């Protein structure tokens, strides 16, 4: 790999884009627009280099991430603001896989008329009250990016959808429709970069996404309003398990492993309000596993009841803390245990997590010290994410942090124990 060519290419793209940035651009038809963006350099590496999977590029030296990218933010709006558009294309070089690439982070059209708003295109959606815990937020996540040290914004993936909002004092509603054929799964840690349990280590992989048929249209509905200073929401979703499941083509003599996405329905509610010196929240959801309601298919997740309570408050000047308790209660647990194949790790009936976030701002709020942790009393595993970041200017910041996994070998975080990593990110906005 020629680092000089890489550095030159990245610098050229960044300089070209920076020179093109502008706050107010006159467009045809009296439209106005702007161009902004950022350049980001982001690396993460395992401290134990000898434990790293072998691979091309920097992967053989223990790097989970070696990413340089430029993102543009292009905006335009009509004279009266009734129609607007936004696009966030990204251009990057992945030095682990030694690949150049491009992606559309977001790209959509907005239409507004009185109490109605509609957004069409690739967009990032966030529902619910949890901190890195998602119950009724059924939209795609990039856990591989999060666990390898990318900025927190990259945990969420864009979804190609139509989002319709209606606002009223009585009851507001948001309807999201994802057309068939545009299903976006979660991005999970890959076998090429992370150590993890693999039930089919020698079989080639194949992915079977939901077909582009009418019955595979995804729909998500949120009804919400504020009552007595409390934000209340009801949710419903019909679609698929985004994390997917694996099965083999032949149970007796398999030749390949097939990743598929079982049918799923979710029904839930959330509440959030301020009081007692903090902000309190609660959320519940029932995951109806439509493809295995009796819990007898070991390849498909059982139905689950999920719940969350959370509180955030200021502990001192420029020092905030939040605490949350989250649980997943598996339904038909006895059937799950009976159908579990020999040699597969067993899950507990209740999977719970205690989440803690502490944030301290120093030096006129330019220096931030933060710590986020998960601990599961049932599984006895944990995750720690300490980070220090500094804003050198309004445009330039850098962060140094780590992702630390611990627990028993067959627990969720325990299986990632050899993937502890230290990461650094430097970002310049223009």
Cβ-proximal residues to 87 (8 Å cutoff; 6+ apart), any chain: 72, 73, 74, 104, 106, 107
Q: Report pLDDT digits (tens) over 206-226.
A: 999 999 999 999 999 999 999
Both tokens assigned to 417: 């124990």
Mean pLDDT (whole number) for 72-85: 95
- Other C-beta atoms lying within 10 Å of the C-beta of residue 223: 16
Both tokens assigned to 209: 């996404």
pLDDT over 70, % of the chain: 93
User: Where is average pLDDT lowest: 190-199, 232-241, 357-366?
Assistant: 190-199
Mean pLDDT (whole number) for 73-92: 96
Q: Report pLDDT digits (tens) over 124-159.
A: 999 999 999 999 999 999 999 999 999 999 999 999
Give the model's pLDDT for residue 252: 80
CB 399 within 8 Å of CB 389: yes
Q: Is the confidence at residue 103, as pLDDT, over 90?
A: yes
Mean pLDDT (whole number) for 314-334: 97
Give the model's pLDDT for residue 189: 87
Q: Is the confidence at residue 365, as pLDDT, over 50?
A: yes
- How far apart CA 282 and CA 377 sit, in angstroms, is 20
Q: Which residue has the higher pLDDT, 57 or 360?
A: 360
Q: How far is CA 272 from CA 51, 125, 233, 252, 354, in A?
A: 44, 18, 9, 51, 19
Q: Report pLDDT digits (tens) over 3-56.
A: 444 444 454 444 444 555 788 899 998 999 999 999 999 999 988 766 555 555
pLDDT band at 205 (very low <50, low <70, confident <90, very high): confident
- How far apart CA 202 and CA 232 sit, in angstroms, is 49
CB 118 within 8 Å of CB 173: no
Q: Is the confidence at residue 1, as pLDDT, over 60?
A: no
CB 39 within 8 Å of CB 427: yes
192: three-class secondary structure by DSSP: coil
Give the model's pLDDT for residue 12: 42
User: Where is average pLDDT lowest: 51-65, 240-254, 375-389?
Assistant: 51-65
Please, what is the average pLDDT of the chain?
91
């Amino acid at each position: 790999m020629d680092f000089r060519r890489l550095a030159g290419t990245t610098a050229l793209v960044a300089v070209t884009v920076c020179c093109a940035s502008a706050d107010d651009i006159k467009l045809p038809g009296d439209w106005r627009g702007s161009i902004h963006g950022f350049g980001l350099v982001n690396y993460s590496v395992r401290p134990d280099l000898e434990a790293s999977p072998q691979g091309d590029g920097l992967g053989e030296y223990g790097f989970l991430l070696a990413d340089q990218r430029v993102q543009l933010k292009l905006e335009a709006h009509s004279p009266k603001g009734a129609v607007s558009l936004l696009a966030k294309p990204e251009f990057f070089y992945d030095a682990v896989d030694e690949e150049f690439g491009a992606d559309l982070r977001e790209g959509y059209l907005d239409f507004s008329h009185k109490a109605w708003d509609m957004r069409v295109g690739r967009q990032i959606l966030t529902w619910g009250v949890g901190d890195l815990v998602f119950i009724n937020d059924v939209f795609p996540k990039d856990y591989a990016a999060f666990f390898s040290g990318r900025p927190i914004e990259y945990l969420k993936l864009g979804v190609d959808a139509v989002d319709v909002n209606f606002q009223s004092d009585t009851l507001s509603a948001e309807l999201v429709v994802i057309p068939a054929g545009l299903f976006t799964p979660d991005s999970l840690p890959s076998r090429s970069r992370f150590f993890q349990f693999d039930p089919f280590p020698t079989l080639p992989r194949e992915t079977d996404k939901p077909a582009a048929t009418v019955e595979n249209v995804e729909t998500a509905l949120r009804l919400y309003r504020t009552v007595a200073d409390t934000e209340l929401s009801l949710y419903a979703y019909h679609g698929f398990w985004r994390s997917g499941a694996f099965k083999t083509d032949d149970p007796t003599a398999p030749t390949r492993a097939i990743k598929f996405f079982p049918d799923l329905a979710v029904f839930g509610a959330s509440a959030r309000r301020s009081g007692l010196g903090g902000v309190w929240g609660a959320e519940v959801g029932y995951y109806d596993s439509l493809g295995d309601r009796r819990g007898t298919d070991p390849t498909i997740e059982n139905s689950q009841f999920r719940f969350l309570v959370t509180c955030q408050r200021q502990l001192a000047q420029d020092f905030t803390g939040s605490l949350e308790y989250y649980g997943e209660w598996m339904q038909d647990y006895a059937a799950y245990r009976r159908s579990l194949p020999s040699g597969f790790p067993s899950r507990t009936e209740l999977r719970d997590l205690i989440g803690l976030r502490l944030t301290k701002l120093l030096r006129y709020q330019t220096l931030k010290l933060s710590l986020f942790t998960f601990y599961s009393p049932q599984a006895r595993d944990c995750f720690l994410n300490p980070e220090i970041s500094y804003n050198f200017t309004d445009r330039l910041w850098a962060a140094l942090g780590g992702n630390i996994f611990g627990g028993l070998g067959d627990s969720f975080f325990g299986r990632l124990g050899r993937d502890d990593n230290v990461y650094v990110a430097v970002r310049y906005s223009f």
